[in-house]
Amino acid sequence: MSYDDNNIFAKILRGEIPCKKIYEDDFVLSFHDINPQKAIHALVIPKGKYVDLDDFIQNASPEEMTGLLKGINIVSKKLGISTENGNGYRALTNIGKDGGQEVPHLHFHLFGGEKIGKMVE
């Protein structure tokens, strides 16, 4: 699947639509999910144009990979849900149709602030 420049997260990255920003650096942008499923529901997205995790693994640079993983850790600490300053969280990424992915720009969901419960329905 080729990258769609008109997906909603591409528009957020270009500043064309607003988001409730949590954190930003050279590699990632993080913001609150518009339709939170748990007490805390944040999204962490790479700044590069990657459709999903498979695309990212195959095409991202080592710096981008490190940047995304570090971004998740930074955001978890900022939100007080890391195991260092909170009670932990779940990081999840949906891939493709069967994975339930709706927005075709790689994103990690961070769920926390309460017990997250069953891993899958």
Q: In one letter, which amino acid is 9?
A: F
Q: Does residue 69 interact with ligand AMP by CB under 6 A?
A: no
Q: Does residue 100 interact with ligand AMP by CB under 6 A?
A: yes
At residue 15's C-alpha, the angle toward residues 9 and 18, to 5°, is: 75
- Residues in region 24-53 near ligand AMP by CB under 6 A: 31, 33-35, 43
Q: Does residue 94 interact with ligand AMP by CB under 6 A?
A: yes
Q: Report, in Å, the least distance between residue 87 CB and ligand AMP.
A: 22
Number of residues that bind ligand AMP (CB under 6 A): 12
Q: Report, in Å, the least distance between residue 120 CB and ligand AMP.
A: 14
> What b/e sequence results for 37-65 when a residue is b if at least 16 CB atoms lie within 10 Å of its CB, and e otherwise?
ebebbbbbbbbbbbbbbebbeeebeeebe
DSSP code for 47: S
Q: End-to-end CA distance of the chain, in Å? A: 27
Q: Mark whether 105 is an active-site residue.
A: no
Contact predicate 56/46, CB 8 Å: yes
Piece of the chain touching ligand AMP by CB under 6 A; list 52-60, 65-73, 77-85, 101-109: 101-109
Binding site for ligand AMP (CB under 6 A): 8, 19, 31, 33-35, 43, 94, 100-103
Active-site positions read 107
